[in-house]
């Protein structure tokens, strides 16, 4: 007797549990691939924007002018958002002569830390899902594999003579479930490792910028205090 061993027929004739496993793995794979392409675009844009902003910032650009230019954008993110958050507090407190240089730098630092935290959440978004798919998909596929092999043994129990045709469908659907689990897991693991590394590099750059910019603002605030003291001394 001829048995149709095509992929479609094996999936269509698979037991209900194996079909549910396959559906779960297909959805997990589709969602993870969507997130993979989305995260690749996000990280590429974030890296490009960080490079462009650092070039402008460290080229000796006037900070108030740079602040006005960056702050006028409709949507800002990454290093630009951190810069705007810190310099906004600096400008606000710089006008108050009673505020010390240390207080100005501390307040600006806290504002930048809040912006940094939001950027970290944005960069790490979806990564936990990819990690989950990568770690659980093989086990979900293994569940379908075990169930398919169990069906093969049940088929052997119903026949008087063991033949390959009796166990082939169950083993085939078991292997398909295994393959689908690996197909969902492998890209998710690769993407998670790659994107988490890229995100960590960007986060390190953001954090370094926060420290360097805080030092710069503190030096400017100290210069303001020195000039103010000298002015009062001349007037006195």
Among residues 192, 176, 214, 159, the alpha carbon closest in space to that of 13 is found at: 176
Tokens coding 58? 């460290």
Structural Rg of the chain based on CA atoms: 30
Find tokens 């295994």 and name the residue. 178
pLDDT tens, 27-61?
999 999 999 999 999 999 999 999 999 998 888 77
pLDDT for position 193: 96
Is residue 151 a part of any domain in this protein? yes
60: which DSSP letter?
T
Report the share of the chain in percent with pLDDT over 90: 42
Domains of the chain: total: 1
Is residue 1 a part of any domain in this protein? no
Q: What pTM did the predictor assign? A: 0.80
Is residue 236 a part of any domain in this protein? no
Is residue 11 a part of any domain in this protein? no
Is residue 8 a part of any domain in this protein? no
Report the share of the chain in percent with pLDDT over 70: 80
Cβ-based neighbours of 53, under 8 Å, separated by 6 or more:
70, 78, 79, 80, 83
pLDDT for position 10: 64
- For the chain, report the end-to-end CA distance as a whole number of angstroms: 111
Give the whole-angstrom CA distance, residue 130 versus residue 216: 39
Q: Which domain holds residue 157?
A: 17-229
10 Å Cβ neighbour count for 185?
23
Q: Where are the alpha helices (DSSP H) in 3-126?
A: 7-12, 16-57, 63-71, 79-94, 101-124
pLDDT for position 231: 53
Cβ-based neighbours of 133, under 8 Å, separated by 6 or more:
28, 29, 31, 32, 184, 185, 188
Q: How far, CA to CA in Å, does 212 sit from each of 16, 105, 126?
A: 60, 11, 30
pLDDT for position 190: 96
3-state secondary structure of 160: coil
pLDDT for position 225: 58
pLDDT tens, 108-147?
899 999 999 999 999 999 899 999 999 999 999 988 888 8
Is residue 6 a part of any domain in this protein? no
Is residue 7 a part of any domain in this protein? no
More confident residue, 90 or 5: 90
Going by pLDDT thresholds of 50, 70 and 90, the confidence category of residue 1 is very low
Is the pLDDT reported for residue 158 higher than 70?
no
pLDDT tens, 180-204?
899 999 999 999 999 999 999 999 9
Give the whole-angstrom CA distance, residue 231 versus residue 220: 16
191: enclosing H helix or E strand: helix 164-235
Q: What is the mean pLDDT of residues 77-86?
A: 92
Is residue 2 a part of any domain in this protein? no
Find tokens 């507090």 and name the residue. 89
């Amino acid at each position: 007797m001829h048995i149709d061993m095509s992929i479609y027929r094996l999936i269509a004739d698979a037991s209900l549990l194996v079909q549910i496993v396959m559906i779960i793995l297909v959805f997990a794979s589709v969602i993870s691939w969507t997130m993979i392409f989305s995260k690749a675009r996000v990280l590429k844009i974030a890296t490009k924007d960080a490079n462009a902003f650092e070039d402008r910032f460290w080229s000796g650009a006037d900070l108030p002018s740079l602040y006005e230019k960056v702050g006028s954008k409709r949507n800002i993110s990454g290093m630009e958002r951190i810069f705007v958050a810190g310099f906004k507090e600096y400008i606000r407190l710089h006008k108050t002569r009673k505020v010390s240089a240390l207080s100005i730098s501390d307040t600006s630092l806290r504002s930048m830390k809040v912006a940094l935290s939001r950027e970290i959440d944005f960069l790490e978004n979806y990564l936990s899902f990819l990690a989950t798919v990568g770690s659980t998909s093989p086990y979900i596929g293994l569940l379908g594999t075990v169930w398919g092999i169990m069906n093969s043994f049940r088929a052997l129990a119903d026949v008087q003579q063991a033949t390959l045709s009796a166990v082939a469908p169950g083993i085939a659907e078991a292997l398909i479930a295994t393959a689908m689990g690996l197909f969902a897991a492998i890209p998710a693991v690769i993407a998670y490792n790659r994107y988490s590394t890229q995100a960590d590099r960007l986060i390190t750059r953001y954090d370094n910028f926060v420290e360097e910019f805080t030092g710069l603002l503190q030096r400017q605030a100290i210069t303001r205090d020195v000039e103010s003291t000298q002015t009062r001394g001349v007037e006195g």
